[in-house]
């Protein structure tokens, strides 16, 4: 089992480490001991993840003297609701959890967001730990303290910032993901290359076949570099008042697609992939990006097996959902637009321009 040097987020009193390494999931108990945690522990997960990793996590916690309570919520983005958060609250209340006690999020981005939100709001805030088991969660959702749930009118409209005590990332667990789920997560990896690191983007281009085939050494490199980029951005802008907004590249249209398809037929990463290409095409139309950089992104996403065309949705519906997005400011819609691979900028886009542009985007048949 290999162990990489932890990535440290310096956030003052909210500082924490991201531990990345094969076998990390078996070290949860040890990690809690190192932060001198002695309270009760609740593991929030879903039935699929518990079946895969529940016994290993419980064994690790029990070995360190903890008696974990397991709370299950259904798997899937469509269950990322306040109703399901209520089930977590019920379990914590029934087992008399107090402010010194802790929640562990064991699962993908949905579990991480929901367990984190439950921890942020239960008794006005209790500690929690992220143990991400999907690509999206490992490189993005588990880092930075964003927690929340969806609303019928938009994704992640209800939430809170609540930083974890630490993040425990085990790349080896990705081998049990369904192929589509693994591929979907690679969109977030590509995002980091576009927004911050052309050299990393080139690495993805050169190693796309091995990464798609889940060669653990290459995948671990991707997780470590993506996590480091995200950590650096969060460290500079914990509450998303400026720089951190660039992490939303591809998400403005991507979230609208997820919402309009009922969080069922389009995975998060697939929506992000579609959204990145749409945003790049918009950047070309606005004269800030060379078409060659759209071609590079399109080719890489296709190499990974990701979609680059939107479903056949009404442009007016897409615009309506985007207008209600949490990133809208003063009623204006802002996009993260690439200027070149490795550099992006937040830009306001007129709704008339967007309406016309959305009608020109190629759709899947």
Name the catalytic one among 244, 267, 281, 296. Answer: 244
CA separation for the pair 248, 251 (Å, rounded)? 5
124 noted as active-site residue = yes
Going from the C-alpha of 340 to that of each of 273, 277, 318, the distances in angstroms are 17, 13, 26
Judge whether 200 and 228 are in contact, CB under 8 Å: no
215 noted as active-site residue = no
292 noted as active-site residue = no
Name the catalytic one among 188, 224, 258, 270. Answer: 188
248 noted as active-site residue = yes
251 noted as active-site residue = yes
4 noted as active-site residue = no
Name the catalytic one among 4, 58, 191, 255. Answer: 255
Name the catalytic one among 146, 162, 267, 296. Answer: 146
Name the catalytic one among 80, 162, 165, 230. Answer: 230
Name the catalytic one among 4, 165, 251, 267. Answer: 251
240 noted as active-site residue = yes
244 noted as active-site residue = yes
Name the catalytic one among 248, 267, 281, 296. Answer: 248
CA separation for the pair 72, 78 (Å, rounded)? 15
Name the catalytic one among 24, 50, 224, 240. Answer: 240
CA separation for the pair 251, 254 (Å, rounded)? 5
Of residues 72, 77, 149, the one with CA closest to residue 117 = 149
β 41-45/7-9 pair status: unpaired
230 noted as active-site residue = yes
332 noted as active-site residue = no
Residues annotated as part of the active site: 124, 146, 188, 230, 240, 244, 248, 251, 255, 268
């Amino acid at each position: 089992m290999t162990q990489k040097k932890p990535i440290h987020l310096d956030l003052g009193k909210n500082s924490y480490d991201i531990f990345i390494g094969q076998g990390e999931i078996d070290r949860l108990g040890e990690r809690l001991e190192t932060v001198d945690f002695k309270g009760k522990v609740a593991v929030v997960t879903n039935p699929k993840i518990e079946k895969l990793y529940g016994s290993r996590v419980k064994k690790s916690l029990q070995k360190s003297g903890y008696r974990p309570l397991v709370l299950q919520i259904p798997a899937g983005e469509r269950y990322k609701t306040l109703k399901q958060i209520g089930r977590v609250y019920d379990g914590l209340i029934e087992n008399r959890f107090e402010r010194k006690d802790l929640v562990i999020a064991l699962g993908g981005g949905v579990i991480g967001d929901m367990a984190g939100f439950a921890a942020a709001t239960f008794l006005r805030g209790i500690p929690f730990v992220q143990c991400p088991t999907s690509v999206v969660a490992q490189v993005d959702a588990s880092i930075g303290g964003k927690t929340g749930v969806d609303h019928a009118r938009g994704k992640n409209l209800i939430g809170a910032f609540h930083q974890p005590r630490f993040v425990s990332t085990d790349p080896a667990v990705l081998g049990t993901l369904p192929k589509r789920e693994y591929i979907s997560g690679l969109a977030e990896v590509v995002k980091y290359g576009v927004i911050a690191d052309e050299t990393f983007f080139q690495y993805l281009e050169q190693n796309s076949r091995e990464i798609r085939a889940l060669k653990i050494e290459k995948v671990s490199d991707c997780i470590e570099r993506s996590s480091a980029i995200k950590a650096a951005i969060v460290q500079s802008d914990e509450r998303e008042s400026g720089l951190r907004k660039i992490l939303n590249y591809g998400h403005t249209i991507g979230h609208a697609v997820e919402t309009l398809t009922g969080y069922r037929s389009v995975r998060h990463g697939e929506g992000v992939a579609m959204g990145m290409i749409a945003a790049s095409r918009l950047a070309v139309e606005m004269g800030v990006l060379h078409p060659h950089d759209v071609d590079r992104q399109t080719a890489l996403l296709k190499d990974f097996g990701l979609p680059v065309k939107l479903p056949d949705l009404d442009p007016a519906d897409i615009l309506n959902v985007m207008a209600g997005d949490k990133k809208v400011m003063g009623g204006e819609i802002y996009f993260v637009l690439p200027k070149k691979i490795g550099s992006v900028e937040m830009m306001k886009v007129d709704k008339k321009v967007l309406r016309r542009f959305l009608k020109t985007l190629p759709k899947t048949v």
